[in-house]
Amino acid sequence: MFTDMFDSIDKGTQPAEIFYDGYIVNAILDATYKSSKTKQWEPVIIEDWRGSNEVKQQHAFAGYDENYYLIKEEILPSVKRKPL
């Protein structure tokens, strides 16, 4: 990341990640920290959203139960599978 930033400065081009990308990441982190305190899902608050507002309901996740989807499964050294 830093190499790309410094190369971009030298070349006069825009880096792969810009300030707005960091803003989005920090908004997500703020929501996760708040969620860890409240023990509830918290919304990601982004006051300057520049993306699409289209809501996509499609997903490739396997059903886990009526409330959750299985998004990753870890295979342990003992060959047991652990849902994450």
Q: What is residue 17's predicted lDDT score, i.e. its pLDDT?
A: 87
Mean pLDDT of 6-31: 92
**Which tokens in the block code for residue 75?**
């295979």
Query: What residues contact 30, with CB distance under 8 A and at least 6 apart?
Result: 44, 45
Looking at every residue in the chain, the average pLDDT score rounds to 83
CA-based angle 46:68:43, to the nearest 5?
15
Place of tokens 């599978």: 81
| Residue 84 confidence (pLDDT) above 60 | no
27-65 pLDDT tens trace: 999 999 999 999 999 999 999 988 888 766 655 666 667
